Amino acid sequence: MGTRLNPYLSFRDTARQAMEFYQSVFGGELRMNTFAEFQASDDPAEQDKIMHSMLETESGLVLMAADTPNSMEYVQGHSISISLSGDDEAELRAYWDKLSAGGTVTMELEKAPWGDVFGMCVDRFGVAWMVDIVTSD
């Protein structure tokens, strides 16, 4: 395998719920491991938290996430957005509909000045998303 760059999201204690949500959005295979499985924490309250998770879709999307241990500082968001783009309008609109449901739309998914259909939202887990549907117009 060559080098790949993929998002790795940090949560305080909702990584399992978030990754199950993303699997419902994108499909694919989800693998999750807890702190207990790796004997990575002595704190009984952290045993069921997610130490590492990875979602891989048939189309090549990869998303990873983990819960942040209580002993570490947790800062949500870090001013980063995840961008989805392409020319498959039906696929991207379906992702948009699922990601924005229960979240906050910060820019409606509509025709942008550069000609594409573009929108921004923050999902129910506080992750910022940008969707750009490339148009042939």
Residues 63 and 91 in one domain: no
**Exposure letters 44-60 (e unless 16+ CB within 10 A, then b):** eebeebbbbbbbbbeee
Q: Do 103 and 53 belong together in one domain?
A: no
One domain, residues 14 and 58: yes
Question: Which structural domain, as residue segments, surrounds residue 115?
Answer: 81-133
C-alpha to C-alpha distance for 130 and 99, rounded to whole angstroms: 10
Q: What pLDDT, in 10s, does the model give residues 15-28?
A: 999 999 999 999 99
Same-domain pairing of 87 and 62: no
Dump pLDDT digits (tens) for 90-133.
999 999 999 999 999 999 999 998 899 999 999 999 999 999 99
Domain membership of residue 18 (yes or no) is yes
Residue 72 maps to a domain: no
The domain total for the chain is 2
Which CATH number covers residue 128? 3.10.180.10
Closest residue by Cα to residue 96 from 81, 112, 113, 108: 108
Strands across the sheet with 81-86, in order?
81-86, 128-133, 117-122, 104-111
In a domain, 45, yes or no: yes
Tell the burial category of 25 from Cβ atoms under 10 Å away from its Cβ (0-12, 13-18, 19+). Answer: buried
Question: Are both 87 and 54 inside the same structural domain?
Answer: no
Amino acid 135 reads T
Q: What is the pLDDT of residue 77?
A: 62
Is 129 found in the same domain as 89? Answer: yes
